[in-house]
Structure 1
Amino acid sequence: MSINYIPRVTQLDAVHLDKQVEELFIQQIFQATKYLEPGILQAVLPELELLIRTWIFKFSFYNKKCTFGQEMLSLKYKPENISTSKMYWYYGYKIGLNYVKDRCLYSWTSNTRIQNVIHKMETFQLVGDILNFLRFIQSGKYPMLIDFILGLELTADKLTREDLTDFSWTRELLWHNFIELMGTAISLMNMIGLRSKLSTVLKYVWWRKHTKSSATSSQAVMTHSTVCACCSNKPVLPYTMGCSHIFCYYCLMANKTVDKDYACPKCYFNGKELNKFVMV
């Protein structure tokens, strides 16, 4: 009799085991070839990883209809959900795309257009993984995006890791994965640009009114206690933007590059002309 309900923590454990199995194979290859001349292995590293992943795919998912991590935990995909075409799509998404990305990074590092395409692909994949993980927390099915796309549902005849289904373990593992994904999502956000866009929509928040009322230029003065208005440290290569506050050159230029309408965080003055501060 098969078990239809698979605990979320057990499914996530299988995903982590798959990653560890792949890393173990790659580490063994590096260990066996560590005495070779440096640079020989790096030239064909994408192809080497492709062969390792293909071998793992052949003797796990292709032959047994489950990954090595799932097999360790007595999990498997429902046979009625698997077809030859789905196997090819699974291979292309999990292995083919990784190879294309790695080879492009190795061979066309200086090609800006290709690198931008690869970056956009990775961004879309990360967003998809985040959305799928949120859906997985709610439904308890399809821990990986490719499983959801192809409709590959897990089942089991028994659970060999029932001790891991304890509520505290489940909460800890799910929370750890959730925090990791949230950190990835936040790192993709342009917080300065986001605040600028919100300022045009939310016209009645207090700091927007403050911006309008404080938009006056004044002379900057630097003393021994002056700190950068952005990082609150001693100004490095001090610059001004028309208000009475002083910035580090890199702090000011970085913010202005990201957001042309960047305003002083102290007085909210939006200066367009950046000048090097000169002591008189």
Structure 2
Amino acid sequence: MSITYIPRVTQLDAVQLDKQLEELFKQMVFNATKFFEPGILQPVLPELELLIRTWIFKYSVYNNKYTFGQQMLSLKYKADNFSRSKLYWYYGYTVGLRYLKDRAVYSFTSNRKIQDFIHKLETFQLIGDIFNFLRFIQCGKYPLLIDFVLGLELSAEKVTREDLSDFSWTRELLWHNFIELIGTAISLINIFGLRRKLLNVLKYVSWSNQTRARVASSNAIMTIHTECAFCSSSPVLPYTMGCSHIFCYYCLMANKTADPEFACPKCYYKGGEINKYIVA
């Protein structure tokens, strides 16, 4: 009799096991070739990882309709819903797409357009994984995005967890993934833009408006005691942005590049004109 309810943590355990098994397999191959001449495998490393993932796919999902991690936990995909076309799409997403990204990184490192395209592709994939994880936490089905897209449901005759009790990550795996989700979401937030929006609230404070008006009309003066308004160190290649404060070139340009509306952290003045400070 097939089990209708599979715990979320068991499904996530299977995903983690697949990742661990792949890393273990690669480590074994690399250990077997560690005595080769240095650099001999580096040019074909993406192809080597492609062969490893293809071998894993062939003898797990392709032949048996379950991954090795799912097999260890007595899980499997419903065979009647796993057509040959879905197998090809599954392979293309889990193996082929990763190979294309790895090969592009190795062969087209200096090509800005290709690298930007890969970055955007990874960002969209990451956003999709985040939304899919939130959906999975709610409904308990399709732990992977590709499972949800292809409609691949899991089934089980029994749920096996006793043999994996020694693994620390099986106890609080849901919390671990949730923490990773939060960390990933934070990395997507434009901290500079958020900081600017919070500082904009200060413009309604009277002393802030007075400071802004006073500083905007004064000229920057540099002495031996002058510090960068951002890093509080002696300015390296001093630059100004229209207020009386001086910045390091890197500090100012890095902030302006990340956030075009960057305001001076000392006086909240938004300078649109960046000029090199000329020492008289």
Distance 1:84 1:116 in 2: 33
Residue 206 of structure 1 corresponds to which residue in structure 2? 201
Superposed CA RMSD: 2.7
Seen in structure 2, the aligned counterparts of structure 1 residues 43 and 263 have a Cα distance that, compared at 3 Å, is same
Deviation at 1:207, TM superposition (A): 2.1
Deviation at 1:234, TM superposition (A): 4.8
Q: Which amino acid aligns with 1:207?
A: L
Structure 1's unaligned 5+ residue stretches are none
Deviation at 1:111, TM superposition (A): 1.5
- The answer to whether residue 128 in structure 2 is matched with residue 133 in structure 1 is no
Name the count of aligned residue pairs.
Answer: 273
Distance 1:12 1:59 in 2: 21
Residue 14 of structure 2 corresponds to which residue in structure 1? 14
Distance 1:169 1:122 in 2: 26
Are the equivalent residues in 1 in contact too, given 2:109–2:115 (CA < 8 A)? yes
Deviation at 1:102, TM superposition (A): 1.1
Q: Which amino acid aligns with 1:98?
A: R
Q: Which amino acid aligns with 1:121?
A: L
Distance 2:54 2:186 in 1: 33
Distance 1:252 1:37 in 2: 46
**Identity rate of aligned residues, in percent?**
71
Matched residue SS, 2:239: strand
Distance 2:236 2:51 in 1: 50
Cα deviation digits, residues 52-108 of structure 1 (max 9, x gap): 111100111111111000111111112222111111110010001011111111112
207-216 vs 262-271, greater mean Cα deviation: 207-216
- When normalised by structure 1's length, the TM-score is 0.86
Seen in structure 2, the aligned counterparts of structure 1 residues 163 and 243 have a Cα distance that, compared at 3 Å, is farther
264-273 vs 181-190, greater mean Cα deviation: 181-190
Residue 228 of structure 2 corresponds to which residue in structure 1? 228
- The answer to whether residue 88 in structure 2 is matched with residue 74 in structure 1 is no
Q: Which amino acid aligns with 2:158?
A: K
Residue 250 of structure 2 corresponds to which residue in structure 1? 250
Matched residue SS, 1:11: helix
Are the equivalent residues in 1 in contact too, given 2:220–2:244 (CA < 8 A)? yes
Residue 218 of structure 1 corresponds to which residue in structure 2? 218
- When normalised by structure 2's length, the TM-score is 0.86
Deviation at 1:279, TM superposition (A): 6.3
Seen in structure 2, the aligned counterparts of structure 1 residues 251 and 39 have a Cα distance that, compared at 3 Å, is same
Cα deviation digits, residues 180-237 of structure 1 (max 9, x gap): 12222322332324566x58xx9xx632435755242323455676543323455444
Residue 86 of structure 2 corresponds to which residue in structure 1? 86
- The answer to whether residue 168 in structure 2 is matched with residue 173 in structure 1 is no
222-231 vs 242-251, greater mean Cα deviation: 222-231
Deviation at 1:243, TM superposition (A): 2.0
